[in-house]
Amino acid sequence: MTQTIIVEGMTCEHCEQSVEEALEEVEGVTSATADRDAESATVEGSVEPDKLVTAVEDAGYDASV
Ligand code: 9UX
């Protein structure tokens, strides 16, 4: 299953990497890709959207479903 969430505050490639790593640490996520231009992140796996939002926020970015 693929889910896309809104992620605001990414300004560079390292920001994208931080968001991807945060998402990939969430249980159930198999892969994650963040796109600062699109202000979004796409996640593969079976996981509650709220957990994705929380993980991104804990990494220091604004997120919403
Ligand atoms: Mo460099 Mo991206 O500080 O925040 S990781 S702009």
In short, whether 15's Cβ falls inside 6 Å of ligand 1 is yes
CB 33 within 8 A of CB 39: no
Which residue in the block uniquely carries the two structure tokens 């505050």? 9
CA 10 to centroid of ligand 1, rounded, Å: 7
Splitting the chain (65 residues) into consecutive groups of 10 residues, what average pLDDT does each group show? 97 98 98 98 97 98 97
pLDDT for residue 2 = 97
The four Cα atoms 22, 65, 51, 15 give a dihedral, to 10 degrees, of: 10
pTM score of the predicted model: 0.95
Counting atoms of ligand 1 from 1, which one is nearest the CA of 9? 4
Interface TM-score (ipTM) > 0.90:
no
pLDDT for residue 1 = 94
CA 14 to centroid of ligand 1, rounded, Å: 6
What domains sit in the chain, N to C, each tagged with a CATH number? 2-64 (3.30.70.100)
In this structure, what DSSP letter does residue 31 have?
E
